[in-house]
Amino acid sequence: GQQVMQIPQYQHVQEGEDFTTYCNSSTTLSNIQWYKQRPGGHPVFLIQLVKSGEVKKQKRLTFQFGEAKKNSSLHITATQTTDVGTYFCAGPLGTSYGKLTFGQGTILTVHP
């Protein structure tokens, strides 16, 4: 079945270092969404990418959608302790718009 794989599963960084998580799909995606879940919290939507090769920035966060629309990445520049949490990518499940299949998530720990 359709799968969205995310790596790494864990990432420990020192505050100020950069961080990247990668998402790969077994099929072409019409769009990809990214969510952040703080420890003890619930997932919160960050952004959606739709176009091939699209790059979007939110302050220190840079999101990319691959040319083939089968992979995506989230890069955080100069991490801060407020960046800790789990980052999920999610793509449409099957052909029905509205259902999502989530990657396994990357748990980011930032050491001060």
Q: By the criterion CB under 8 A, which residues form the site for other proteins?
A: 1, 6, 9, 31, 33, 35, 41-45, 48, 88, 90, 93, 97-105
Nearest to 5 by CA among 98, 75, 72, 94: 72
Pick 43 or 66: Cβ nearer other proteins: 43
Contact 51, 65 (CB under 8 A): yes
Pick 48 or 77: Cβ nearer other proteins: 48
Write the single-letter amino acid at 88.
F
Residue 78 beta carbon to other proteins: minimum distance, rounded to whole angstroms: 26
